[in-house]
Structure 1
Amino acid sequence: MNIENADLNLLKALDVLLEERHVSRAAARFHLSQSAMSRTLSRLRETFGDELLVRTAQGYELTPRARAIQQELEFILPRLRALVRGGEFDPATSTDAIRVNCTDYAVTVIGTRLFPRLFEQAPHLSLTVEPLSPRTYEEIEHGRVRRV
């Protein structure tokens, strides 16, 4: 894929498609018709040279390439939003997604004080707390996760 020929507006649609794993639900969330989202999926498949979503008996499944893209989008999209917004961070209006990887002990000690204050200051923020895993360290090494 050549970045000069890529439609970066498709990244948000791709993010929703990969999260929902269902064309109709993704279309509803993205305020498109089901047929328009199907066409968007076709364009994304062509752009990335991958099926991305594969229909199975249990519904749609992500291809390995789609899973890798999804992890990258978790890192890229918030930065693109910040770039467009001018880099100004306003916690009161931020709809950013933050993922915290830590031990249960850290959640108990730090989280019980930090998280309520965080949501008081940034009520629209999306917070996910996940346990530390070998994948966490791989993501740090590859620059997909920042350490604080």
Structure 2
Amino acid sequence: MQKNLDSLDLNLLRLLKVVVETHNTSVTAEVLGISQTSVSRGMAKLRDTFGDQLFIRKAHGVEPSELAEKLAEAAENMLTPFTQVLDAYQDFDPQEYTGT
């Protein structure tokens, strides 16, 4: 079902999550600040990695498969703690640090 996950780019998981949320590749490109071509290429890499279509094209966007929805949920659960840590240390100033 899958190729090697060791080479999976975390940005592809973000892309997957946003496509599942928006159901639209153009909106996904806008949200992520990338081209629609980059979204299409990323989706192709995801299809290849997971051996699944992941999305079905519709008249006004895409419909995520069950696997795409589960992967997006897993990506959210994985990426949220990283985002929280980065947000907490965004204003970190080493000169003000008083720890050991």
For the aligned pair, the TM-score class normalised by the smaller chain equals: 0.7 to 0.9
1:32 alignment partner in structure 2: 34
Unaligned runs of 5+ in 2: 92-100
Residues 5 and 49 in structure 2, CA contact (< 8 A), matched pair in contact too: no
Residue 89 of structure 1: aligned partner: 88
Kindly indicate whether the alpha-carbon contact (under 8 Å) linking 2:23 and 2:64 is maintained by their aligned counterparts in 1: yes
Q: Which has the higher contact order (CA 8 A, sep 6+)?
A: 2
One-letter amino acid matched to 2:28: A
TM-score under structure 1 length normalisation: 0.52
Distance 2:30 2:16 in 1: 14
Amino acid at match of 1:65: L
- What SS class does the counterpart of residue 10 from structure 2 fall into? coil
Corresponding residue number in structure 2 for 1:54: 56
- Greater helix share, structure number: 2
Instruction: Name 2:97's counterpart in structure 1.
Output: none
Q: Distance in 1 between matches of 2:20 and 2:51?
A: 16
Displacement of 1:76 = 1.1
CA RMSD of aligned residues (A): 2.4
Contact 2:25 2:61 in 1 (8 A): no
Q: C-alpha displacement at 1:42, in angstroms? A: 0.8
- The answer for the alignment partner of 1:4 in structure 2 is 6
Letter in 2 for 1:13: L
Give the TM-score normalised by the residue count of structure 2: 0.72
Alignment-mate amino acid for residue 31 of structure 2: R
What are the ranges of 5 or more consecutive residues in structure 1 without an aligned counterpart?
Answer: 94-148
Q: 1:59 to 1:5 in 2, by over 3 A?
A: closer
Shift of 1:78: 0.5
- Greater shift, 2-11 or 62-71, is seen at 2-11
State the number of aligned residues.
Answer: 89
Identity fraction in percent: 33
Of structures 1 and 2, the larger Rg is shown by 1
Give, in angstroms, the shift of residue 66 of structure 1.
Answer: 0.7
CA deviations 1:17-39 (Å, max 9, x no partner) are 11111111101111111112111
